[in-house]
Structure formats: structure tokens, C-alpha cells
């Protein structure tokens, strides 16, 4: 499936047309109108023209093709961890991170009727963030490409035994009834989004504290990762995230995704990255950008 449910199509067409008329103001996001990516785009730039895209790849392609100046992509959630495939997609996109944004996540259960419900459709992240709620009620989680699209799908099917987990605004957009608000399992549920563009920010132009994101693959020698990380410790550079993921199907090459506090041009950061590069087969900077929320 590579298209939106029919109830969302008209909204998508209208928003796409507006973005095409002024791509410099357009921000691409993954999902149907009313999803959390839509909310994040409007919080990042209230005067933007949100451009709905069916997949993360489509949103990134919109920026690469010039149909949007920026994309807003979720990268991790406080409750459910990193968003699947993002660590692969960001380096491959050729785009650069220019900002981060934290969005408070509140899910609503919505449907055509009052239930009981046999299945709930939503994005896998939203289903994971509401898994205790669903299990307690015997509702089977059903994965869909995005939260608001799931709401449109429930509307399209017309089955009162189906429901969706989505932002409350989706119920208004697609004519569904909100059964219960705040069905997420954690009250402090938060998703971190990154803003991507074709050109990086110049590190020297970033005022205040910066964050730098990069991916790397260490050489296949004993203690390579330990040695690669040593430069950050000896230079006093705070690494706030380090995650591994497999590159390809051979399981022979492990890539690492990392966030550090600081930016190129700072002596400590330059020394740490230089030492890291010495121990790496591959190192790619994904961007430096203003720190939106203090770590630690």
C-alpha cells in the first residue's frame, strides 16, 4: 500500500497544491494530515505549508527534489525508543540535520461508534506507546503507516468494531468520535524530531550550545570502539547517545549513530572527531544544530 485512505486524499491534495505553489515555505512530514509529524511541522514553523508524504522516504525525497525546503522526521521516543529505519534513512538521504524539536505526545482512541472494539490501527510507535492500554482491553494492535492515516482508514472501512489511536485533531478531520483521550502508557511521552534540509548549518553560525550528530563504522580490530570513544573522554566531550545498527545482511559490519554536545570548530570536538576518524572505516557528519533541550 502506497497511498492514503480516501478520506485523507482530498486534504492531502489541497495541502500538496499549496506547498507546490511556495516550496520555500513547505515542510514535508510522514503521515496523513492530523498526524504528529503534522503537529511537529506547525510547531517548528507556524507559518509553514505542511506537505503530507506517505512514507519517510517520500518526505526525504520531497526535500531532495526541491518540493519542500525542509522535512520534519521523528527519530526517537522516550517510551518506545528509536523510530525504525531512521538510522538507515538519514545517512542515505544526503540531507543534513539543522534543528531538533521535542513534541509532547498524547494519543486518543477514536472510532465511528462506542465499541466494543476488536482491533486498533495506528503507527507501530503509537501502538507500542499504548500497548498496556490495548492489552488491558483485549484490543488487537494493527500496524499502519501513520497515526492519522489509521484514523482515515477506520473512517473508510466503516466498521464500528475498529478504532484508531491518533492525535485528537485526526478525529475532527475525519469525522470520528473520541472514545478516550491520553491513552498513552506514560504521561511524559515525548518524541524527538529532527529537521532536515539540503544544506547544513555552518557550525560557527550556531549561537549557544550546539549538538552534532554523526554515524561511523570502526575498523575490524580488537578494542576499536573503545579506542575510538577514548577521544571524547580525554577531551571532555559529552556523548549523549550511542546506538549500534547492522549494515547489510552479512552481520559483519556494525554502524554506530551518535550525538555529542558541541560542534566542529571547538578545539575539544575537533580533537575528539580527529581521533575517532583514525579508528574508523567510515565517518559521516549528519549536521550540527542548536541544542533544543538540555541533556543530563
The predicted-structure confidence for 240-285, as pLDDT tens digits, reads as follows 999 988 876 666 668 899 999 999 999 999 999 999 999 999 999 9
Comparing C-alpha atoms, which of 137, 123, 132 is closest to residue 165? 123
From the list 56, 117, 147, 191, the catalytic residue is 191
- Is pLDDT above 80 for 85? no
Mean pLDDT (the chain, rounded):
93
For the stretch 89-108, pLDDT in tens is 888 899 999 999 999 999 99
The pLDDT value given to residue 2: 57
Tell me, yes or no, if the two domains 6-104+190-197 and 108-180 fold the same way: yes
Q: Which CATH architecture has domain 108-180?
A: 3-Layer(aba) Sandwich (3.40)
Share of the chain above pLDDT 90, in %: 80
pLDDT of residue 249: 65
Give me the residue spans of the domains in the chain. 6-104+190-197, 108-180, 203-290
Q: For the chain, give the DSSP string.
A: --S--HHHHHHHHHHHHHHHH-GGGEEEEESSTTSHHHHHHHHH-TT-EEEEESSHHHHHHHHHTTS-SEEEEEEEETTTEEPTTHHHHHHHHT-EEEEEEEEE---EEEESSS---SEEEE-HHHHHHTHHHHHHTTPEEEE-S-HHHHHHHHHHH--TTEEEEE-HHHHHHHT-EEEES--SS-TT-EEEEEEEESSPPPGGG--S-EEEEEEEEE-SSTTHHHHHHHHHHHTT--EEEEEEEE-SSSS--EEEEEEEES-TTSHHHHHHHHHHHHTEEEEEEEEEEE-SS---
Confidence of residue 220 (pLDDT cuts 50, 70, 90): confident
Domain 203-290 classified CATH 3.30.70.260? yes
**Is 193 a residue of the active site?**
yes
Say which CATH topology domain 6-104+190-197 has: D-Maltodextrin-Binding Protein; domain 2 (3.40.190)
What local confidence, expressed as pLDDT, does residue 1 receive? 40
Catalytic residue among 29, 96, 117, 193: 193
The pLDDT of residue 13: 95
Is 29 a residue of the active site?
no
How confident is the model over 25-81, as pLDDT tens digits? 999 999 999 999 999 999 999 999 999 999 899 999 999 999 999 999 999 888 777
Buried b / exposed e across 101-137, counting CB within 10 Å, b at 16+? Answer: bebebebbbbbbeeeebeebbbbebbbbbbeebbeee
Q: How confident is the model at residue 160 (pLDDT cuts 50, 70, 90)?
A: very high
Which residue did the predictor score with more confidence, 162 or 125? 162
Amino acid at each position: 500500500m502506497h497511498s492514503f485512505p480516501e478520506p485523507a486524499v482530498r486534504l492531502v491534495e489541497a495541502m500538496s497544491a499549496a506547498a507546490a505553489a511556495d516550496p520555500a515555505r513547505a515542510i514535508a512530514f510522514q503521515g496523513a494530515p492530523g498526524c504528529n509529524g503534522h503537529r511537529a511541522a506547525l510547531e517548528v514553523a507556524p507559518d509553514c505549508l505542511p506537505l503530507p508524504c506517505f512514507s519517510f522516504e517520500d518526505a526525504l525525497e520531497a526535500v531532495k527534489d526541491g518540493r519542500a525546503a525542509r522535512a520534519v522526521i521523528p527519530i526517537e521516543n522516550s517510551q518506545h525508543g528509536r523510530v525504525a529505519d531512521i538510522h538507515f534513512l538519514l545517512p542515505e538521504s544526503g540531507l543534513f540535520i539543522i534543528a531538533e524539536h521535542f513534541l509532547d505526545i498524547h494519543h486518543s482512541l477514536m472510532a465511528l461508534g462506542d465499541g466494543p472494539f476488536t482491533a486498533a490501527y495506528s503507527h507501530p510507535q503509537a501502538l507500542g506507546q499504548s500497548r498496556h492500554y490495548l492489552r488491558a482491553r483485549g484490543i488487537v494492535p494493527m500496524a499502519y503507516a501513520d497515526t492519522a492515516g489509521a484514523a482515515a482508514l477506520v473512517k473508510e472501512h466503516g466498521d464500528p468494531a475498529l478504532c484508531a489511536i491518533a492525535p485528537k485533531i485526526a478525529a475532527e478531520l475525519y469525522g470520528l468520535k473520541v472514545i478516550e483521550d491520553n491513552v498513552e502508557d506514560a504521561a511524559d511521552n515525548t518524541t524527538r524530531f529532527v529537521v532536515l534540509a539540503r544544506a547544513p548549518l555552518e557550525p560557527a553560525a550556531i549561537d549557544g550550545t550546539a549538538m552534532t550528530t554523526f554515524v561511523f563504522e570502526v575498523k575490524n580490530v580488537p578494542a576499536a570502539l573503545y579506542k575510538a570513544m577514548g577521544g571524547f573522554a580525554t577531551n571532555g566531550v559529552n556523548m549523549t547517545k550511542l546506538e549500534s545498527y547492522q549494515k547489510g545482511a552479512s552481520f559483519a559490519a556494525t554502524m554506530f549513530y551518535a550525538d555529542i554536545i558541541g560542534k566542529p570548530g571547538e578545539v575539544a570536538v575537533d580533537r575528539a572527531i580527529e581521533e575517532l576518524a583514525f579508528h574508523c572505516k567510515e565517518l559521516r557528519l549528519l549536521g550540527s544544530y542548536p541544542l533544543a533541550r538540555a541533556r543530563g
